[in-house]
Chain A
Amino acid sequence: GQQVMQIPQYQHVQEGEDFTTYCNSSTTLSNIQWYKQRPGGHPVFLIQLVKSGEVKKQKRLTFQFGEAKKNSSLHITATQTTDVGTYFCAGVNSGYALNFGKGTSLLVTP
């Protein structure tokens, strides 16, 4: 079945530094979604990428979908303490449920 790998598992940065998390799928994805989960909270949708090579931006966040639609990345420019949380990528499986990567936990030190 589809496996979604995500690295790194943890990242600790100083406020103002950049951050990137990478997601790789064992199979071609129809789309990929990104979620953020704050400590003690539930996952919240950030964005969906559908097209090969697609790049989308949300303020300081840049999302990319690979040309082969098997990998994706999330880049945060100049992190802030409000960026703290775990970032998950997720592919959609054949049953329309989300297949989550293991997540990258981001800690930002002021």
Chain B
Amino acid sequence: SAVISQKPSRDICQRGTSLTIQCQVDSQVTMMFWYRQQPGQSLTLIATANQGSEATYESGFVIDKFPISRPNLTFSTLTVSNMSPEDSSIYLCSVAGGILPNTEAFFGQGTRLTVV
């Protein structure tokens, strides 16, 4: 199993500012994933964070808006840049528990972001 510490747990931000979310895992993992979950909705994959290379973004998400860092095998950050109210959402980091793809995913507690 993997224990994920994600922070901040929640924040209220002014539009036009940026917020960096941190994700710390208690073990080394190859791939980390960032999801967005809008209120009452499902989880949408933003990007896959790979150590030693650029993140891989899903359709509809771009690096300028959601820059990701992955400095080592236990840590990643997601920045939500130039925020607008439409960015209000829960952001979750996730890791695989073992050998992909036949393994469960573990999630951080999430960051509840409100943009005003």
Contact = CB atoms under 8 A, between A and B. Distances in A.
Contacts, number: 58
Given A96-B31, A96-B96, A96-B100, A45 B42 contact: no
B107 A43 contact: yes
B42 A98 contact: no
A97 to B, nearest CB: 5
Interface residues of B, number: 26
Interface string B80-116: 0000000000001010110011111111111000000
A90 B44 CA distance: 11
B101 A42 contact: no
B45 interface: yes
Q: Which bracket fits the contact residues of A? A: 20 to 34
A45 B103 CA distance: 10
Nearest to A35: B105
B53 interface: no
B56 A95 contact: yes
A101 B44 CA distance: 9
Contacts of B102: 30-31, 48, 50
Interface string A85-110: 00010101101111111110100000
A96 B106 contact: no
Contacts of A93: 45
A98 B97 CA distance: 13
Interface of B: 31, 33, 40-45, 48, 56, 59, 92, 94, 96-97, 100-110
Q: Nearest 5 A-B pairs (CB), nearest first?
A: A45-B104, A96-B100, A92-B101, A42-B107, A100-B43
